[in-house]
A and B are shown apart, each in its own frame.
Chain A
Amino acid sequence: MTEQIAPPVLRAVRLTKAFGGLVAVKDVDFEVKAGSITSLIGPNGAGKTTLFNVVAGLSDPTEGYVEFLGQKMVASPERGWLEPILWVLPAGLVWLLTYGLGLAGVVTAAIEVLILVGLGLLIATLIVAVIRPAWYTRLLVVLGVFKSARPNDMVQAGIGRTFQNIRLFANMTALENVLVGMHGQLKASPLDAVLRTGKQRREEVASIEEARRLLQYAGLRNRDNELARNLPYGDQRRLEIARALATKPKLLLLDEPTAGMNPSETATMMKLFSRIRTELNLPILLIEHDMRVVMGISDSVTVLDHGEKISEGTPDQVRADARVIEAYLGKGAI
């Protein structure tokens, strides 16, 4: 019962995503409760992956927003026009000062230098803006500017994901793939790496240890040093999950994780998902075509059709919903 009281991990509110005239996702609300597996299903072209990409920070929604752990992460930009002003502000001040000093005849020789300083400041602010460090985002928030979190910010906030068509780092080993997933938790700077400080070495050793453990957890034994591209298909799927777990997520987004698997592989994957949920207490948002998987492990199912939510509830409720049957099988089936 505690799960019902706890606030949802992820909440999408009135999400709409339009590509020109095509409305791929329309007014969809859904949430993922703590410790639960929520599935997103629907016929091909229903807008599942679009919705997923919005949630993962890959594209801004046209309307609505996504809240993660109570914080608004993704929405269309607000007061975006303030940002360019911020970029030219430091340089503009220096240039104004230069102009004033020149007019007043106070300084004549150093004016070139001041102009260059302004140029340097302009470039520096622009570079800061593209890097978008955390303090810059905080500054934007103070000014009331809202920009959606980028995919890497979402990961830092605690959303790990896998891809529908496997996107491993094909020419890196399994271990390296997982180590890349741990990137955000490693704190050693490039300077630490160059100096091989004790901190950096300890961190690397510990991260390799943990990466091994994650590989084992996902069911990849003795595959550490194999290139990802050479792994069998099922193992590549597992590696994607190990890599996503390595980001220390508080929510796991899985995009058709059992696509192309045979029934026995699918069964082991389902076991892995259940273990992730129970042992790690990690909520999962799942897109899946295989109804056996969806109905077998989901706590809650959301059904999309033509970009709209047509049904929501427990697997049994959804299975009995006439609109769902209609969407999948056509009107005559009812």
Chain B
Amino acid sequence: MSPRRSISSAIGNSPVGRGSGRLRAALRPATSSAGRYFGKHQSLSVLVGMAVATAILPLVVLIPPFSGFGGQNDFVDGFASAGVFVLLAVGLNVVVGLAGLLDLGYAAFFAIGAYTYAYGASPFSGLDVPFWPMLLVGAAVAAMAGLLLGAPTLRLRGDYLAIVTLGFGEIVPVVFLNADKYTNGTNGISALYQPALPAIGDFGFINPWPYYITVAAIIAVAMMLLYRLEDSRLGRAWMAVREDELAAASMGINTVTTKLLAFAIGASTSGLAGVFYASKLGLVSPSQFGFTISFTVLAMVVLGGMGNIWGVAIGAFVVYEIQSQGLKQLNNFVASSGIPPIHIGFVNVDLSAVNFLDYQFLLYGLALVGMMLLRPEGLFPSRRRKQELHDVDDAGASNQELVEA
């Protein structure tokens, strides 16, 4: 024992109280203004929020104008697919939003999750592992891949990291393309087995409901766990590394472990999405996991509001629905509105013949440019990022808000 008194005793501190009375006493002031950490019951709000959303969405599509766009089952099927992207976005948010590591090859982990399921549950390999344990296996394999990618890139930052991850994202589908023996090459693996859980109905191509419920449950659990991580020692370490890596190391944070964990946890969420996606689609092929997926998910995270788990989830859902339903309906709308073709000199513009789905990435680009100019913090920003980007004009007001919160 060193002769000097410990800091805590000198300042009159009580260390971690073992007795319950002491704990209660310690909790009282904590809940008053540190409610950010404990009072909010985030887990409960995530579960309730997801349950409500899951229940309401299929009902919303029954009312006009949505009811005119398609049957309820088509919508629910679309929602289940949207769920895949919500999961991807929520996972990428850990890497990009919390730890500040720009990852442009995120689709690689998605592919790894999907192929893990394809290999574990298809006639191709002869294995038939049930869906539910495969979820965990897929997440674990993807997390390993995250570590694998993370380890050599630890010294890189910003642009350099983005380029290396981009490369990784390109390599993985190529590996799947060429490792015929395990992946069936270009053709991919098809006729994957479908999940089975009698309690929520028959999983099948005609009945989207079990998939819908499954993905909602996976998202709810993933979000709950990520919220808990964000509010923990690890979450603070992620943020500290994002803010200033050297200072973080000088506060005793092992930045290596912290960044590896960000990659691994982000990747495992992506792996979950991959397993679900493969089981729902029934086939995997290398062409499904190109750069466009990585880019789309990154756009979802940025548009939704980097760093805010709920914001990112809603952003992903909205972007996916605009892309899959909105553009289709725009086509129908313009085609039926009877706008006459315009002739300006040699240029003929016939809006009713335009397929807006082809312009998906143009529209993404425009949306991102507009967003960066008008609302750089995203649609549903975390309070932190909002303050960061609107500091000059309303720093005082938001401080007040923080103090009250």
- Interfacial chain A residues near B148, Cβ < 8 Å: 123
Decide if B7 touches A152 in the complex (CB within 8 Å): no
For chain B residues 117-132, which have a beta carbon within 8 Å of chain A? none
Decide if B405 touches A225 in the complex (CB within 8 Å): yes
- Interfacial chain A residues near B240, Cβ < 8 Å: 169, 172, 180, 183
- Interfacial chain A residues near B228, Cβ < 8 Å: 193-194, 196
Decide if A127 touches B260 in the complex (CB within 8 Å): yes
Which of A152, A200, A203: most chain B CB closer than 10 A?
A152
Decide if B232 touches A193 in the complex (CB within 8 Å): yes
- Interfacial chain A residues near B257, Cβ < 8 Å: 131
Does B252 make an interface contact (CB < 8 A)? yes
CB distance from B101 to the nearest CB of A (A): 15
Does A292 make an interface contact (CB < 8 A)? no
- Interfacial chain B residues near A204, Cβ < 8 Å: 37-38, 232-233
- The one of A194, A202, A217, A243 in contact with B17, judged by C-beta atoms closer than 8 angstroms, is A202
Taken residue by residue from 127 to 161, chain B's Cβ proximity to chain A (1 for < 8 Å, 0 otherwise) reads as 00000000000000000000110010010000000
Does B8 make an interface contact (CB < 8 A)? yes
CB distance from B252 to the nearest CB of A (A): 3
Decide if A201 touches B38 in the complex (CB within 8 Å): yes
CB closest residue in chain B, given A198:
B23
For chain B residues 237-285, which have a beta carbon within 8 Å of chain A? 237, 239-240, 243-244, 246-257, 260-261, 265
- Interfacial chain B residues near A161, Cβ < 8 Å: 250
CB distance from B395 to the nearest CB of A (A): 6
How many residues on chain B are close to A (CB under 8 Å)? 69
CB closest residue in chain A, given B261:
A190
Decide if A229 touches B391 in the complex (CB within 8 Å): yes
A208/B37 contact (C-beta < 8 A), A171-B388, A248-B7 known: yes
For chain B residues 16-42, which have a beta carbon within 8 Å of chain A? 16-17, 23, 26-27, 29-30, 33-34, 36-38
- The one of A171, A193, A280, A282 in contact with B384, judged by C-beta atoms closer than 8 angstroms, is A171
Taken residue by residue from 162 to 184, chain B's Cβ proximity to chain A (1 for < 8 Å, 0 otherwise) reads as 00000000000000000000000
A245/B7 contact (C-beta < 8 A), A169-B247, A176-B239, A226-B399 known: yes
Decide if A205 touches B252 in the complex (CB within 8 Å): no
Decide if B250 touches A155 in the complex (CB within 8 Å): yes
Decide if A184 touches B4 in the complex (CB within 8 Å): no
Rounded to whole angstroms, the CA-CA distance of A251 and B257 in the bound complex is: 25
Decide if B34 touches A208 in the complex (CB within 8 Å): yes
Does A307 make an interface contact (CB < 8 A)? no
For chain B residues 215-250, which have a beta carbon within 8 Å of chain A? 225, 228-229, 231-237, 239-240, 243-244, 246-250
Decide if A186 touches B233 in the complex (CB within 8 Å): yes
Does B64 make an interface contact (CB < 8 A)? no
- Interfacial chain B residues near A205, Cβ < 8 Å: 23, 26-27, 30, 38
Which of B7, B36, B387: most chain A CB closer than 10 A?
B7
Decide if B233 touches A193 in the complex (CB within 8 Å): yes
Rounded to whole angstroms, the CA-CA distance of A219 and B235 in the bound complex is: 27
A190/B229 contact (C-beta < 8 A), A204-B38, A205-B30, A225-B402 known: yes
Does B206 make an interface contact (CB < 8 A)? no
- Interfacial chain A residues near B254, Cβ < 8 Å: 131-132, 152
Rounded to whole angstroms, the CA-CA distance of A168 and B17 in the bound complex is: 30
Taken residue by residue from 195 to 226, chain B's Cβ proximity to chain A (1 for < 8 Å, 0 otherwise) reads as 00000000000000000000000000000010
Does A213 make an interface contact (CB < 8 A)? yes
CB distance from B238 to the nearest CB of A (A): 10
Does B11 make an interface contact (CB < 8 A)? yes
CB closest residue in chain A, given B387:
A227
CB distance from B17 to the nearest CB of A (A): 7
- Interfacial chain A residues near B265, Cβ < 8 Å: 190
CB distance from A17 to the nearest CB of B (A): 18
A280/B151 contact (C-beta < 8 A), A155-B250, A224-B33 known: no
Decide if B4 touches A180 in the complex (CB within 8 Å): no
Rounded to whole angstroms, the CA-CA distance of A192 and B10 in the bound complex is: 30
Decide if A168 touches B151 in the complex (CB within 8 Å): no
Decide if A172 touches B391 in the complex (CB within 8 Å): no
Does A268 make an interface contact (CB < 8 A)? no
CB closest residue in chain A, given B307:
A171
- Interfacial chain B residues near A126, Cβ < 8 Å: 151
Does B348 make an interface contact (CB < 8 A)? no
- Interfacial chain A residues near B4, Cβ < 8 Å: 34-35, 250, 280-282
Does A295 make an interface contact (CB < 8 A)? no
Does B336 make an interface contact (CB < 8 A)? no
Taken residue by residue from 368 to 391, chain B's Cβ proximity to chain A (1 for < 8 Å, 0 otherwise) reads as 000000000000000011011001
Rounded to whole angstroms, the CA-CA distance of A291 and B165 in the bound complex is: 50
- Interfacial chain A residues near B337, Cβ < 8 Å: none
CB distance from B275 to the nearest CB of A (A): 19
- Interfacial chain A residues near B250, Cβ < 8 Å: 56, 151-152, 155, 161, 163, 167
- The one of A127, A163, A188 in contact with B147, judged by C-beta atoms closer than 8 angstroms, is A127
Pairs across A and B, CB under 8 Å, 6 listed = A152-B249, A175-B34, A202-B16, A202-B23, A204-B232, A225-B402
Residues of B within 8 A of A (CB): 2-8, 10-17, 23, 26-27, 29-30, 33-34, 36-38, 43, 147-148, 151, 154, 225, 228-229, 231-237, 239-240, 243-244, 246-257, 260-261, 265, 384-385, 387-388, 391, 395, 399, 402-403, 405
5 closest A-B pairs (Cβ-Cβ)?
Answer: A193-B232, A184-B252, A155-B252, A281-B4, A169-B243
